[in-house]
Every structure is written in structure tokens, then in C-alpha cells.
Amino acid sequence: MEIELITIGTELLLGQVLDTHQQWLGRRLAERGRPLARQITVPDHGPAICGAVQTALGRADLVITTGGLGPTDDDLTRRLLADLLGRPLGQDASVAAHIEGFFRQRNRPMPESVLVQAQVPEGAVVFPNRHGTAPGLAIEVAPNPFGDGSEPAWLILLPGPTRELRPMFDEQVLPFVEKRWPQREAFHCRILRSLGIGESAVEETLREPLRLLLVRGLELGYCARIGQVDIRLSGCGPDMPAILDEAETAVRALIGKHIYGMGDETIAEAVVAQLTAAGETLAVAESCTGGLLGHHITNVPGASAVFAGGALSYSNAMKQKLLGVSESTLAEHGAVSKPVALEMAEGALEAGGADHALSVTGIAGPDGGTPEKPVGTVWLGLASTGRRPVALRKFHPFDREAFKHATVHQALNLLGRRLQKNS
């Protein structure tokens, strides 16, 4: 089956907004063996939207659009495509009730204009929107006037906002697609997530040992992010689960110490799960990461059971006041140093009454570097009750945000490895 994605929005072409739908939807579909064949971005402009959808319906089995379902005048998608396909729009009572409830719950007056989002093309499947007002819509185009006439096509319209689109896609659209286009051969996919090893090192280490499995149909893919590499093992057919087992065993034997999780699991999710299983708690002391470590941990539902909190000890005064770092240590070694990282971790452990504490102190840049401690230098500390604290020096000469992300991943990995050893 062929799937095309059309992302609609002038703001995407003007570069005001980064299109993350392509990557997210592309990955979701690829993981289920249905890779995107093509992606197109068009502006909020009638002829451009219709032209792109028409051409795509002439080629693909399924065309997915994102955006343009909102209540404002530049939200053209619903009406345009209903017209293009000759489907009259009618108000859907349950969608209208949902929209009214949405505003009532928030104690906000409802502008009349938002009810345009309850207009549904005749015969369309409605995907309710748990996180917003515009529902998703699926329309069967049969007969298909844009193709060669032999095959019907489907058009699925999704809302643009990420927090609305993603749960709708996972909960409603994927099951719809999998039911409508069942796969002849089951597709299997397993993703191993690694940290602290480069993409080419991963590839060189795995290439030879996995060669025989590739001959048997295994597909191997890599995806590198800041400081992380995902290893994607996939393939079709009844033998594939056994082949994936073999492949996973081989990968773990070769680079197991770098593997922290599976599938979509983030390093923070893995660490929170480990802490929860162990019944242990964590505190943090963040300097250069400025809260990103705590943010990652608290993104995990249920984190409150294992996360005590901590200190954003951005200034030296805060390091002393909240964490008890000694003035002499700061004066002698500087804020970005092993002794300060250790004292920060011990201070957070004590303040949080926690079982473990992570500390981070470094130079994010662009200013503040010296020849001995250039921008990108960072010390990570880990203290655990009843053990000697440890500290690690790392170097991430990236831009400010990439520096923070790489540092947070490594700090979590430092704790993750300790918890792994303990279990």
C-alpha cells in the first residue's frame, strides 16, 4: 500500500514552524511496515491544497493531511476537500457537543466560529479529539476520480497541533489503517536504544555479526540523535520473531552495556521504571542544565513516587545555600570541578532525603570557557546512600541546547547503569 502525507500550513513554508509531523508520522508508519512514499507541504491556499490532494489521490492508497482544520479563516482544509470530493458538510451533533463541553469545562466563552469544526463531510468516519476541538476525519474516495478508476483511495484529515494529532493517530488512526489494510505478512519491528556510542561505531561493530541474519530477511536501520543511536531490527514473515530474537541477542552481546531501553522508551522512562522497581528515590542538583534533568524525569507519569526534587543551583550562592557546597571548595576548584560536583550530589542526597542524587555542573556557552575548561566541559556527580559518590568529566562542544540534552542523557545513564548493577 502507498501512503502520502500532505502537511498544510503557510507557516511551515515560511519557516516559522518546524514540521515535526513528517518525522513522527513517518516513524510510526515505518515501525508498522507501512513507510511513507512521499511527503508534500503546501500553503493555506485553496488551489495548492486541492492540487496536491488530487495528485496524491491519483497515486496513493491513502493520503493523510495535517492542519487547516481549525476555526479561523485560513483553516481551509475541511471545506475545500469536502467540495473537491463532492461531499456536503453537515453538523455532527456529537462533535458539536464535545466542542461546547470543551469550552464549558475551561470556563471560557465559546466563539460561534468554533462550531465550524463540527461540520463533517457526508459519510466520513469521525475520530474524536480528546485534546482539542477539531476531530480527525476519514473519507473513502470511491469511485476515485483522480486515479485510474480501478482502486478506491482513502483520505484522512488530521488536526495540526501535535498534542491533538499524536494521541489521535496512535489511538484511532493506526488501528483504522491496520484494520483497513491488513498486512499479508506480519511485520515485526524491535528498536534497541543505545547511549554513549557513536553511529559508525555501532554500525561497524554489528555489520559482520549480523550479516547472516540480513540474508534471512532481517532489515537493520540506525537512527542517530544527540548522544544516542537507535538500532532498528525489522522484517516480515513467520520466521521473523525468531530472527529478531537472534539479532537482539547478538546486539546485546556486542554493545549491551550501551543499551538502555527498547521501543519508544526514553532514558528517563527507563530510570524511573528502575527506581520504581527498586522502591528507591532520586534527587537532583542542576547547574548548567538549568532544570532539563528534572523536566525529563517529571515527564514520566508516576515520577512523583520516586522523584524528590532538587535544586537549580545556577549561582554559586545557591550551591552553598541549598546544597551546602563549601565556599572554600568553590574558591579552590571553581564551580565546574569534580569536588563541586561531588558536594552538589551529596547535598542533594541529604536535602531530598533520597536514595540517589545526580548533580551536573558545566559550561554551556557561548561564553564562560577557559583553555583548561573550554565551553562544553561538564562534571556529572552521583551520590547514593551508603556508597562513595562518584564524578565523571564529559565534553560536549555543541550549541547550548544540544549541550544540555547530551548532558542530561549521560547523567540519567550514569544512574541507570548503577541501578542495573544493583538489581
Nearer CB in complex with a copy of itself: 70/121? 70
Nearer CB in complex with a copy of itself: 72/249? 72
Q: Which helix (H) or strand (E) holds 78?
A: helix 77-84
Q: Is 8 helix (H, G, I), strand (E, B) or coil?
A: strand
What CA–CA distance (Å, rounded) separates 99 from 414? Answer: 46
- Interface residues for a copy of itself in 355-414 (CB under 8 A)? 364-368, 395, 397-402, 404
Q: Does 291 bind a copy of itself (CB under 8 A)?
A: yes
Q: Does 175 bind a copy of itself (CB under 8 A)?
A: no
- Interface residues for a copy of itself in 107-136 (CB under 8 A)? 107-108, 111, 113-114, 131
Give the range of 77-85, 134-142, 148-156, 279-287 binding a copy of itself by CB under 8 A. 279-287
* Residue reference for cell 539479532: 247
Give the range of 86-94, 203-211, 251-259, 383-391 binding a copy of itself by CB under 8 A. 203-211
Nearer CB in complex with a copy of itself: 178/199? 199
Return the residue of 72, 183, 420, 422 that touches a copy of itself, per CB under 8 A.
72
Q: Does 32 bind a copy of itself (CB under 8 A)?
A: no
Q: Does 318 bind a copy of itself (CB under 8 A)?
A: yes
Instruction: Give me the least distance between CB of 225 and a copy of itself, in Å please.
Output: 8
Go through 294-325 and write b for each residue having 16 or more CB atoms within 10 A of its CB, e for each that does not. bebbeebeebeebbbbbbbbbebeebbebbeb
- Interface residues for a copy of itself in 3-22 (CB under 8 A)? 9-20, 22
- The letter for the amino acid at 194 is S
33, 234 Cβ separation under 8 angstroms: yes
**Backbone φ and ψ of 33, nearest 5°:** 75, 20
Distance between terminal CA atoms of the chain? 45
What are 7's three cell numbers?
A: 502537511
Q: Does 74 bind a copy of itself (CB under 8 A)?
A: yes
Give the range of 149-157, 242-250, 280-288, 336-344 binding a copy of itself by CB under 8 A. 280-288
Nearer CB in complex with a copy of itself: 121/160? 160
Q: Does 188 bind a copy of itself (CB under 8 A)?
A: no
Give the range of 120-128, 270-278, 313-321, 412-420 binding a copy of itself by CB under 8 A. 313-321
Q: Does 101 bind a copy of itself (CB under 8 A)?
A: no
Residues in Cβ contact with 338 at an 8 Å cutoff, skipping those fewer than 6 apart: 379, 391, 393
Instruction: Give me the least distance between CB of 295 and a copy of itself, in Å please.
Output: 4
What CA–CA distance (Å, rounded) separates 346 from 310? Answer: 12
Nearer CB in complex with a copy of itself: 224/236? 224
What CA–CA distance (Å, rounded) separates 236 from 30? Answer: 12
- Interface residues for a copy of itself in 321-360 (CB under 8 A)? 321-322, 351-353
Q: Does 147 bind a copy of itself (CB under 8 A)?
A: no
C-alpha distances out from residue 217 to 12, 209, 211, 241, 337, Å: 38, 15, 10, 11, 50
Nearer CB in complex with a copy of itself: 81/282? 282
Q: Does 203 bind a copy of itself (CB under 8 A)?
A: yes
What CA–CA distance (Å, rounded) separates 381 from 344? Answer: 8
Give the range of 64-72, 142-150, 175-183, 248-256 binding a copy of itself by CB under 8 A. 64-72
Q: Does 77 bind a copy of itself (CB under 8 A)?
A: no
Chain CA centroid to CA 266, Å: 8
- Interface residues for a copy of itself in 211-270 (CB under 8 A)? 221-226, 230, 232
Return the residue of 161, 334, 369, 389 that touches a copy of itself, per CB under 8 A.
161
Q: How many residues bind a copy of itself (CB under 8 A)?
A: 112
What torsion do the CA atoms of 316, 318, 324, 329 make, to the nearest 10 degrees? 0
What CA–CA distance (Å, rounded) separates 126 from 117? Answer: 12
| Backbone CA torsion sign across 292, 293, 296, 301 | negative
Nearer CB in complex with a copy of itself: 27/87? 27
Q: What is the DSSP letter of 374?
A: -
